[in-house]
Amino acid sequence: MADLHVALVRGREDMVTGGNVVVAVSGLDADVVDWTVAIDGTVAEVAVHPDGLLVNGLAEGPSTVEVVVDGQVVSSVEVINHPITGPVFSGPHVMPFFCTFEDFGLEPASDSVDSSDCSAVTEVTWWAHHQDGTWSELVDPTDRTTWPVDLAVTHETGGTTPFVVRRERGTINRAVYDLTVVDDPVSEARAPMWNGVLHYLFGGGCGSGRTQGSIMGSDVLNAAALANGNLLATSTLNTFNTACDDVLSAETLMMVTEHVVETVRDPRYVIGQGGSGGAIQQYLINQNYPGLLDASNTLVSYPDAFTVSPGVSDCGLLNRYYGTPEGSAFTAEQRTAVNGHGTPLFCAAWAATFLPLASPTVGCHSSIPAEAIYDPNENPTGVRCTLQDSLANLLPRSADTGHVASHVDNVGIEYGRDALVASVISVDQFLELNERIGSYQPDGEILDGRRAADPAVVEHVYATGRVNQGGGSNRTVPTIDNDLYSDFAFDIHDRFRTFSIRERHRLANSETAGNRVIWTQPGGNLLVSLGGTQNDLDPVAAVATLAEWLEALDEAGVGPTTRGDGVAPTRDQLLAARPDGLADDCLVDGTHVVGDEVYDGENACTATYPVHGDPRTAAGAPLANDILKCALRPADASAYGVPFTAEQADRLTQVFPDGVCDWTVPGIGQIPLRGTWLRY
């Protein structure tokens, strides 16, 4: 039998989409014998592709792609094809779903079988980059005589490639995608100058879904990145402000990457980049769907949405309390100590941005019509715009309400514990605060008493990967984390999140994993943080540095293109492959303080950029801040190091009848990941 082997160039055999797939046929006889490709016994429609053959005409569902010699199948691969509209593994399409492709100037697809698929006609435009840094669209890109006389080249000194960019927009997985790359309109080969880096952009925010959405903060016409030779890509469902759904983001990343493979060629490396919610997506994709990203550049990072949201809801409770006569007596110093942040402005910023996601009626995307939104009396089956309701495929429902269950729990939380221990607030203030703090209810209202999350729901959240536990490839994917310090500003991006992630990603021997460096620079405010650049912090240079790191790993035989299945680089291999000079980097008064110990101990960096926390860490939670529902121990007045009267001690047990948090043990329901590549 002929020595021939057929395999997919990229991706999983059971997760092919769009009716086509790129395969490579290899073996000793590949160039010796005559062979053909068939699908389930019928000669396939194929096209020559830079990486092999593009096989078209796959029916939805299972098929077998076969290599045939003299009527005999000598090699085959079974694939499962899914619609280009999805879903693949994210679960059934959530309905209703509101389209926004017209906001991008796209036309509806005439062959769409369901308007809720939000399918649009693919649009290709060509753009010229001018020497003054501006862009203009080329009306007739194939006629070079119409190109602008001040057309730039891709490198200001010594470059010769005309700075002309192909931009493609369309719909995949019900998302609007956007791709750009330096290209030649008359070249037979697509993007001949592409360096093989798929520079994938993830937008921030945290939206409540049910919409095709928008793209926020992801500029695919980034001249510096394009000049470097990168192919830039993003989509509306890789913008967390559209849907705070990391599984849907992972699925869309996979499908858009497959589209790049099929229409251009297989990327050398897929490198993610994005801040805030864009960082969350990368960490959870690396944990839950390892292999989709080869490297990550995260900015103003959060570990995940689920361990951040309890502190956000705490801000709402604390802000309400500070509006009472007793709470209004708290000074700015006392509020800062209770809140845990560097300034009370952080809770104000949370209230102005993402706290509305606690209410099913307030945090809805602008594309969702008012008449479609939930109302407990007028429209009880309407769209609910909370974080948990946007994840109906990923979370269980409450037996009491029928709505998607929340993970938020504040039973046993000793609000202001550290402030009491430090004698910043009095015992009476501590007791009054905790007695009256209240809790958010399913419809976003605040009522007296604490809220207890169902332990089964909490366990499900951990098991299915909504909490960043450092799983998957999070300890092996090269990562540069850009931290813009704004702990004393009106912002929501606090420094301690970066170190919370570091704690969660430590190895079993407590060493850092060796795959992540942190670059720290001064920030400013919320807008600066969302922009992701400041001083000489260059996101494009970060991606180029990550590509160098990956190349070194490949040369060592443990990189994305050279290691075998199931093989990951060790800590020593990751450290050895770092580009020269790459390490933790802290900019202090214009000077870079560099080294892997720069964030430990007392030094200029830690003095300039102190780490704070949030209401949970100020209540005693560890730096990892990964406990959603704490285990309890009996309340003990002697545990605070300040004197309680007998009456105050008795009141303490009344305020905490079930006990207070015991942060020295794992939380209730805090279990390891069930696995990776889960389907819903």
Same domain, 447 and 491: no
Burial annotation 24-35 (CB, 10 A radius, 16+ → b, else e): bbebebeeeeeb
Query: In one letter, which amino acid is 568?
Result: A
Q: Which two tokens stand for residue 325?
A: 């006569």
Q: Is the residue at 193 inside a domain?
A: yes
Residue matched to tokens 């329901």: 669
Q: Is 571 left (phi over 0), alpha (psi -120 to 50) or beta?
A: alpha
Burial annotation 477-513 (CB, 10 A radius, 16+ → b, else e): bbbbbbbbbbbebebbbbbbbbbbbbbbbeeeeeebb
Q: Residue 156's pLDDT is what?
A: 60
Same domain, 630 and 532: no
Q: Could you tell me what percentage of the chain is helix, strand and coil, using 3-state DSSP and rounding each to the nearest 5?
A: 25, 20, 50
Same domain, 294 and 326: no
Same domain, 425 and 566: no
Q: At how many degrees (to 10) do helices 309-322 and 345-353 cross?
A: 110
With 80 as the cut, is the pLDDT of residue 134 above it? yes
Q: Residue 155's pLDDT is what?
A: 77
Share of the chain above pLDDT 90, in %: 92
Range of the domain at 412: 309-464+615-661
Q: Which two tokens stand for residue 141?
A: 């890109």
DSSP symbols for 611-623: ----TTGGGT--T
Domain count, the chain: 4
Q: Is the residue at 453 inside a domain?
A: yes
**Span 99-114, average pLDDT:** 90
Q: Residue 151's pLDDT is what?
A: 94
Same domain, 191 and 275: yes
Overall residue count recorded for the chain in this entry: 680
Which range among 5-19, 52-66, 558-572 shows the weakest confidence by mean pLDDT?
Answer: 558-572
Q: Residue 536's pLDDT is what?
A: 60
**Alpha carbon distance 519, 13 (integer Å):** 38
Same domain, 132 and 273: yes
Kind of pairing between the strands at 42-43 and 516-522? unpaired
**Span 587-595, average pLDDT:** 94
Residues contacting 204, CB < 8 A, separation 6+:
216, 217, 239, 240, 241, 274, 275, 276, 277, 278, 279, 530
Q: Is the residue at 630 inside a domain?
A: yes
Q: Which two tokens stand for residue 610?
A: 């102190």
**Alpha carbon distance 337, 335 (integer Å):** 5
With 60 as the cut, is the pLDDT of residue 574 above it? yes
Same domain, 296 and 325: no
Q: Is the residue at 624 inside a domain?
A: yes
Confidence of residue 357 (pLDDT cuts 50, 70, 90): confident
CATH number of residue 41's parent domain: 2.60.40.1080
Q: Residue 397's pLDDT is what?
A: 95
**Span 66-76, average pLDDT:** 97
**Alpha carbon distance 114, 409 (integer Å):** 40
CATH number of residue 127's parent domain: 3.40.50
Q: Residue 123's pLDDT is what?
A: 98
Q: Residue 247's pLDDT is what?
A: 98
**Span 395-419, average pLDDT:** 96
**Alpha carbon distance 310, 316 (integer Å):** 10
CB atoms near residue 602 (< 10 Å):
7
Single out the residue in 18, 48, 82 at which a domain terminates.
Answer: 82
Single out the residue in 82, 115, 135 at which a domain terminates.
Answer: 82
Same domain, 456 and 492: no
Same domain, 371 and 395: yes
Q: Render pLDDT for 138-163 as a digit per residue (tens, 0 to 9).
A: 999 999 999 999 999 987 656 778 99
Q: Render pLDDT for 511-557 as a digit per residue (tens, 0 to 9).
A: 999 999 999 999 876 666 555 545 566 889 999 999 999 999 999 99
**Span 64-78, average pLDDT:** 97
Q: Residue 384's pLDDT is what?
A: 95
Same domain, 460 and 379: yes
Contact 280, 302 (CB under 8 A): yes
Same domain, 225 and 261: yes
Same domain, 599 and 630: no
Output 324 or 526, whichever has higher pLDDT. Answer: 324
Q: Which two tokens stand for residue 666?
A: 């794992």
Q: Residue 131's pLDDT is what?
A: 94
**Span 441-468, average pLDDT:** 96
Q: Residue 531's pLDDT is what?
A: 54
Q: Residue 263's pLDDT is what?
A: 98
Q: Residue 113's pLDDT is what?
A: 67
Which range among 79-88, 100-109, 557-566 shows the weakest confidence by mean pLDDT?
Answer: 557-566
Single out the residue in 272, 301, 330 at which a domain terminates.
Answer: 301
Confidence of residue 563 (pLDDT cuts 50, 70, 90): confident
Q: Render pLDDT for 211-257 as a digit per residue (tens, 0 to 9).
A: 999 999 899 999 999 999 999 999 999 999 999 999 999 999 999 99
Q: Is the residue at 677 inside a domain?
A: no
With 60 as the cut, is the pLDDT of residue 292 above it? yes
Q: Residue 539's pLDDT is what?
A: 86
Q: Is the residue at 584 inside a domain?
A: yes
Q: How far is CA 429 from CA 281, 399, 619, 660, in A?
A: 39, 37, 14, 17
Q: What is the SS3 assignment for 433? A: helix
Q: Residue 530's pLDDT is what?
A: 56
DSSP-derived secondary structure letter, 107? P
Q: Is the residue at 109 inside a domain?
A: yes
Query: In one letter, which amino acid is 580?
Result: D
Average pLDDT, the chain: 95
**Alpha carbon distance 560, 515 (integer Å):** 14
Query: Is residue 248 exposed (0-12), middle (13-18) or buried (19+ Cβ within 10 Å)?
Result: buried
Q: Is the residue at 674 inside a domain?
A: no
